[in-house]
Structure 1
Amino acid sequence: MLKHAVIPFLVGASLLASAPFAQAATNLVFCSEGSPAGFDPGQYTTGTDFDASAETMFNRLTQFERGGTAVIPGLATKWDISDDGLTYTFHLREGVKFHTTPYFKPTREFNADDVLFTFNRMINKDDPFRKAYPTEFPYFTDMGMDTNIAKIDKVDDKTVKFTLKEVDAAFIQNMAMSFASVQSAEYAAQLLKEGKAADINQKPVGTGPFVFKSYQKDSNIRYTGNKQYWDPSRVKLENLIFAINTDASVRVQKLKANECQITLHPRPADVTALKNDPALKLIEKPGFNLGYIAYNVRHKPFDQLEVRQALDMAVNKQGILNAVYQGAGQLAVNAMPPTQWSYDETIKDAAYNPEKAKELLKAAGVKEGTEITLWAMPVQRPYNPNAKLMAEMLQADWAKIGLKVKIVSYEWGEYIKRTKNGEHDVSLIGWTGDNGDPDNWLGTLYSCDAIGGNNYSMWCDPAYDKLIKQAKVVTDRDQRTVLYKQAQQYLKQQVPITPVAHSTVNQPLSAKIEGFKVSPFGRNVFSGVSIEK
């Protein structure tokens, strides 16, 4: 369980003071959907965690342009790539300062030591900080970066060189992702000396546009604008407040009452009213996402292909699409969205066939009345607006083929932790792409390396892994596409998941908000955002 210290906030203690906030043009309240598990981006994989940490308080060496997928300079102003594709030399930005807080006052500017600390901590389990604060870095390891980075060298204070063992065609994109946020080596050394290494996850220090002030679990997170930010044009707010509420209808009510100026994941039923409210605007974007059902192949009887095939063909996807997504989604048949390059359009679903599903279960020795657990997310995500309803519909679908389904749920952080540990039989989960590369789907979600991370099926197949590993070390897109299409076909045949839907992203916000851009990766970024006076 996350322990948290509440640090006094400059503008008042009660979130109910959000009405005055809403009147002040330099303060913004964001109605968020869940509590972060912590504030160290390297430790997490969900948008809820990244919004609260990486996208507010941190920077990466490379970054994605706001609202797009192009990679632009971040803490590195430029980078050189060797002819063999194995060496990346990053030239670091001058004049970048880490946050000054009540618990840390930096004595130097950002330099190469901070980059080395950030990544060596993730690579080396014997790193002194890692030993003082035992933790895992699931995204980093899911992508195999812990084994592929051979070494990191400090050329000088403002130059760092990464040497890889194998070509990674998406390395620059990967370095722009939230988990690669750069930490302060000086702050880490202070925590180590004080015997408080775990505070890196509770009292964050970054270089980003906002500075952490306080956190009250299930209530609010408070930040102030970073007056020393290296790009002052991006900091237009004095105070940023995350008001946490898991209920989508409550978030919408708060938005309409101007108690918050931006919210997320409205219920499909609320979209029309939001569109028609003159005080609001609603941005609609095709979702770069996938909501799916994950079968834990380490639990019997899901280790049998016939059982997974049976459950898959017993899902009434169109019924779910109508009831859960209510016109704000499209049917999914593949393990990634159709807007992802290398998507195989020839892949088709098995026909909906409960009778055949019954026969498959019987042939697999699964008796009628067999009990299974179906885990349903407690929060709305871009890829699933109502996991509880979807679970209830699946419960009914699978009852028709003789299975007794028990629906299970936990608080979001606990849900993620337990599903990564493989405690579920079947879970509802999903993904929003993080970097525009197929490996971010086919490797990050379904590879052997991703077990214990984002591979909620616990599925590890050497034939599949060989294909995606080959694709990752090829730089020619056409060659990569051929390999990724073979991987998609193989995965579809093995049914570790049932793809359900790709949802449309509806982003409601006050009409007075300026500069907010919807991220294709599902992040909420407040750098460059302001409120019209």
Structure 2
Amino acid sequence: MNKYLLTALLATMTLGAAQTPNQLIVGYEADATSLDPAQVTDLNTMHVLSHMYDTLVKLGPKGDFQPALATKWQMSKDGLTYTFTLRPGARFANGDPLNADAVVFSFDRQLNKNNPGYKFGPFPFAEFYYGSVSRVRKINDNTVEFKLKSPNSAFMAALSVPTSSIVNPKVALAKGKTFALQGAGSGPYALEKWNRGGQLILKSNNNYWGNKPKSQKLIFVPMIQESQRAVALQSGTVDIVINPAAENLAKLKSGGFNVAQEAGPHIWWIGLNLKKAPFDNKLVRQALNYAIDRKAITEGVLYGTGTPAVQPLAPMQLGYNPNVNQYAYNPQKAKELLAQAGLPNGFTTTLLVPTSGSGMQSPVQMGTAIQAYLGQIGVKVNIQQMDWGTFLSKIGAGAEKSNLDMWELSWMDTPVDPAFVLDPLLSSKSFPPGFNSGFYKNAEVDKLMDQGRMEADPKKRAVIYQKAMALINEDAPWLFVNHAQQVVAYNKNVQGFTLDPISPFILKLSNVQKR
């Protein structure tokens, strides 16, 4: 038995005997990686950090920006200066005051090599989110100013993500590299104990500036196996589980458990090496998109936990274009396109598949289904499986260096802004070591992305990104597959739980309790 699964089972067995109404036990997909929010790239850790830390602003239920640690803000007419007024009296969990110095430090340590906290990185998303920032400075104890190099309509969205959490400078500098094992924020909860690979326990923060959380403790237990999460919920050793196996959902519902599902800003696709034949031919890429039955995959493999995708942006995102080519399942058309491309008998290729991974939705089963569909048009797909870490290292190096043909991948847009999907994944400025692993390049798409970032009017931004969606859909740089839904199952005695309609992939449990 996997040692991490054994640890999780022992942890839940212990917890099951000691459950109390004042605590919530959550079974999540993998253990947290770091309690320093500026270091984190995975959603599992973000579930924890969203309860330990606050950001300056937060996303409201309609996608608007609402006060958090900042009570108000203003932008200069030229779009280059943002000034934030901080919440008076806010404190970190240990009682230290949360002031302008803390805000400046939290960003400056990620951007400024001369900041004493910079050496305790790396901070992988700093340039990604704050590349447009030229300076962060304190005006007074309650006021902070951000100066941008150029207008950036995605900037406010960047400030709402866990990476932008405000950390306690005194603790971060005193702990150095070990700060990642402890953290220090101002959120509704603070760390009580973390047994790596086992329980991570948060306790209510008595110094929290907002409404006190309904549960005294949150206990996160990693459960790597999808099926184990459903078993743990049914046995009563956990109260809530994230993404149980899709095939278990009907049984959980019939057993009296609640299941919440919400579509969010997610895309699951097959990446293609556009520098390598035959994927450098648009006809071939379009043929692959016609060859798969997305509806059958989302219903038969994912049991309704996804919706078919034919563009990078999800339907709930600004810039989604409902009028693009839907690539309806049409194997005959796919064969015709292959013939036009000079490949009437198809070709042989390799598909890289991870055995697991954040947001990857049953990757082995999905890969097998896509292999079968492509086989029907003469494309022989050899599947190569590997662990998530090795897989990511190959994708990160880029398709050319790793000599890749095709690979599975997914992306969750936690800021819920189109710029944070398109710019990293499809801009020619993001070639490896950026996230554009397949080397897609379209000068007009690049131009539209730049325009979209600089345009302040949301309606005009939507039109710009819709034009980009039409071009990307036509170019078919990916084999588009589906947009995932977040799925959370929980015991019927859990009250107050809902999934955020705008950003459902990060749990919010402060108002949740057991009756």
Report if TM-score (shorter chain) is over 0.5.
yes
Match of 1:426 in 2: 406
Residues 395 and 361 of structure 1, relative CA distance in 2, 3 Å threshold = farther
Once the 2 structures are TM-superposed, how far is the Cα of residue 450 of structure 1 from its aligned partner? 4.5
2:29 aligned residue (27, 30, 33): 33
| Pairing 1:85-484 to 2, within 5 Å after superposition | 85-100=79-94, 108-130=96-118, 132-138=119-125, 140-143=126-129, 145-146=130-131, 148-191=132-175, 197-231=176-210, 233-278=211-256, 280-297=257-274, 302-350=279-327, 352-353=330-331, 354-356=334-336, 358-359=338-339, 362=342, 368-369=347-348, 371-376=349-354, 378-379=356-357, 381=359, 385-400=361-376, 401-411=378-388, 415-422=391-398, 423=402, 425-451=405-431, 452=433, 454-484=435-465
Distance 1:91 1:415, change over 3 A: farther
The whole-number CA distance in structure 1 between the counterparts of 2:274 and 2:34 is 29
Q: In 2, are the aligned partners of 1:399 and 1:405 still within 8 Å (CA)?
A: no
Q: 1:82 corresponds to which letter in structure 2?
A: S
Query: 1:443 aligns to what SS in structure 2?
Result: helix
The verdict on how the C-alpha distance between 1:403 and 1:511 changes in structure 2, with shifts beyond 3 A counting, is: same
Residues 44 and 312 (structure 1 numbering): CA distance in 2 closer, same or farther, change over 3 Å? farther
Structure 2 SS opposite 1:333: coil
Worse overlay, 440-449 or 258-267: 440-449
SS in 2 for 1:518: coil
Normalising by the residue count of structure 2, what TM-score does the alignment of the two structures yield? 0.87
The CA distance in 2 between the partners of 1:159 and 1:476, in whole Å, is 27
Provide the C-alpha distance between the structure 1 equivalents of 2:493 and 2:65, rounded to a whole number of angstroms: 29
TM superposition shift of 1:361 = 6.4
TM normalised by structure 1 equals: 0.84
- Aligned-residue sequence identity (percent) comes to 24
User: 8 Å contact 1:221–1:242 — kept in the other structure?
Assistant: yes
What SS does structure 2 have at the residue aligned with 1:325?
A: coil
3-state secondary structure, aligned to 2:117: helix
Give the residue type in structure 2 aligned to 1:237. Answer: S
CA contact (8 A) 2:116 2:173 kept: no
Tell me, in whole angstroms, the C-alpha distance in 2 between the residues paired with 1:355 and 1:137: 42
Structure 2: how far apart are the matches of 1:472 and 1:167?
Answer: 8
C-alpha deviation, 1:378, in angstroms: 0.3
**Equivalents in 1 of 2:296, 2:59: separation in Å?**
37
The runs of 5 or more residues in structure 1 that have no matched partner are 1-12, 101-105, 192-196
Task: Report the alpha carbon displacement of residue 302 of structure 1 after superposing the two structures with TM.
Answer: 4.0
CA RMSD, Structure 1 to Structure 2 (Å): 2.8
Deviation of 1:399 (Å): 4.0
Offset of residue 373 of structure 1: 3.6
1:306-354: per-residue Cα shift (whole Å, max 9, x none)? 5533433333434423321223433221221222233212201445334
Work out the CA distance in 2 between the residues paired with 1:221 and 1:499: 36
> 2:374 and 2:195 mapped to 1: Cα distance?
40
Q: C-alpha distance in 2, partners of 1:283/1:177?
A: 23
| 8 Å contact from structure 1 (residues 375, 426) kept in 2 | no
Deviations for 1:169-221, whole angstroms, at most 9, x for unmatched residues? 23222211122111222223323xxxxx3223232221112222333444332
DSSP 3-state at the match of 2:241:
coil
Q: Which amino acid aligns with 1:229?
A: Y
Q: 1:73 aligns with which of 67, 76, 82?
A: 67
Deviation at 1:298, TM superposition (A): 5.4
- Tell me the residue number matched to 1:50: 46
| CA 1:99–1:303: 2 relative to 1, 3 Å | farther
One-letter amino acid of the counterpart of residue 496, structure 1: P
SS class of match (1:259):
coil
In 2: Cα distance, 1:125 partner to 1:297 partner = 36
Aligned residues: 495
Instruction: Deviation per CA, 1:35-54: give whole Å up to 9, x if none.
Output: 2332222233332231132x
Tell me, yes or no, if the aligned pair for 1:64 and 1:70 is still in contact at 8 Å. yes
1:276 to 1:373, Cα distance in 2 relative to 1, 3 A: closer
Q: Is the 8 A contact 2:281 2:341 kept in 1?
A: no
Structure 1 residues 162 and 221: alpha-carbon distance in aligned structure 2, compared to 1, 3 A threshold: same
State the one-letter code of the partner of 2:478. Answer: I
Displacement of 1:487 after TM fit? 0.9
Q: Which amino acid aligns with 1:51?
A: H
Q: Which amino acid aligns with 2:100?
A: A
Give the aligned partner of residue 474 of structure 2.
493
For structure 2, the 5+ residue unaligned runs are: 1-9
Structure 2 residue matching 1:234: 3-state secondary structure: coil
Q: Distance in 2 between matches of 1:14 and 1:375?
A: 30
Alpha-carbon distance between aligned partners in 1 of 2:167 and 2:114, rounded to the nearest angstrom:
18
8 Å contact from structure 1 (residues 358, 402) kept in 2: no
CA distance in 2, matches of 1:527, 1:416: 33
Pick closer, same or farther for the CA change 1:230–1:465 going to 2, 3 Å.
same
Any idea what SS the aligned residue of 1:470 has? Answer: helix
Question: Which residue identity lines up with residue 495 of structure 2 in the other structure?
Answer: E
- SS of 1:183's equivalent in the other structure is coil
- Matched with 1:6 is none
SS of aligned partner of 1:199: helix
In structure 1, give the amino acid aligned to 2:259. L
Gap change, CA 1:21 and 1:359, over 3 Å in 2: farther
- Per the alignment, residue 16 of structure 2 pairs with 19
Secondary structure (helix, strand or coil) at the match of 2:15 reads helix
